[in-house]
Amino acid sequence: MKTAVVLVVLAGGMFAQPPAARPAFKSFEVATVKPTPPDWGKGRYVRMQSAHQLEAKNYELRVLIAFAFSLSPQAISGGPSWIDSEHYDVLAETPGDVRPTLDEQLTMLRQLLTDRFRLTFHREPKEFSIYSLTVAKSGLKMKESTVDPNATPEGPLPLVFVLSPETVRLPGRYATVAELAAVMQRAVFDRPVVDRTGLTGRYDFDLEFTPDEAQFGGAGLKGTPESTKPDLFAALQQQLGLRLEATRGPVDTLVIDRIERPSEN
């Protein structure tokens, strides 16, 4: 009986499938780009709606470019007026058998902008009204991450705000402060957020705050009399030990040299 058990274990090992190899994720396998239907009334979002399908819904092109390059829309200049008035939907299939990370998704989205919208650009440093992110005088309150980044094929989940009328949550796992600054400038504010903490580690945290109606692109979120969480500025200090200050400073901007309406699907 002992020999039979050993043979079964060995046989299982012989036929076990190796982990799926990660593709290069340089471009989507297939992608459709269409104008957003005029009767669409469910907001704007980008998400992986399955492990291999990315969906961007109801995006002005300037905002989509900003998302793809992890910039504030205010840091995108040039281009015709229609990049702010026309809205587009993107549905794209990713290659391989594993879910792409956020960085890999953005790489493919940038290639889609080049291929389908003929986007060309150059970079210029410019002076902007910004939010400067620094460590608060009370000291950093985030903990070094205990997450194993290799525990799942796609790695840790990206930073994504969970929205409700009374409270916004941002669960962070294996996240950098630079990633936190990037998601705030993409989603929350109308100006760039510059990471000046000097921190390079990865952290686990849970940020909860009462939203302001001017945040999240005027999505109409605001606190109620029942709201018990602090505003974002106070929450950053109290919960993470970070300080957000309105100031001015240089930003590496993207200047559009050429862009066209999307090619046929």
Is the pLDDT at 32 greater than 80, yes or no? yes
Q: Which residue has the higher pLDDT, 263 or 131?
A: 131
Phi, psi at 88, each rounded to 5°: -130, 155
Question: What is the pLDDT at residue 190?
Answer: 85
Question: What is the pLDDT at residue 43?
Answer: 77
Averaged pLDDT score across all residues of the chain: 86
Report residue 220's pLDDT band, with 50, 70 and 90 as the boundaries.
Answer: low
Phi, psi at 176, each rounded to 5°: -95, 160
Closest residue by Cα to residue 106 from 73, 79, 75, 71? 71
Picking from 20-24, 36-40, 127-131, 164-168, which range would have the lowest pLDDT averaged per residue?
20-24
**Mean pLDDT value across residues 197-206:** 96
Beta-carbon contacts of residue 5 (< 8 Å; ≥ 6 apart): none
Question: What is the pLDDT at residue 13?
Answer: 41
Question: What is the pLDDT at residue 14?
Answer: 41
pLDDT digits (tens, 9 = 90+) for 7-25: 333 333 444 455 556 788 9
Beta-carbon contacts of residue 230 (< 8 Å; ≥ 6 apart): 209, 210, 238
Radius of gyration of the chain (CA): 21
**Mean pLDDT value across residues 67-71:** 92
pLDDT > 70 in the chain, percent: 87
pLDDT digits (tens, 9 = 90+) for 222-242: 666 667 899 999 999 999 999
Q: Which residue has the higher pLDDT, 31 or 167?
A: 31
**Mean pLDDT value across residues 176-196:** 92
Is the pLDDT at 85 greater than 80, yes or no? yes
**Mean pLDDT value across residues 106-135:** 96
Question: What is the pLDDT at residue 34?
Answer: 96
CA angle, 97 then 103 then 251, to 5°: 170
How many helices (DSSP H) and strands (DSSP E) are in the chain?
6, 12
Picking from 6-10, 77-81, 124-128, 214-218, which range would have the lowest pLDDT averaged per residue?
6-10
Question: What is the pLDDT at residue 19?
Answer: 55
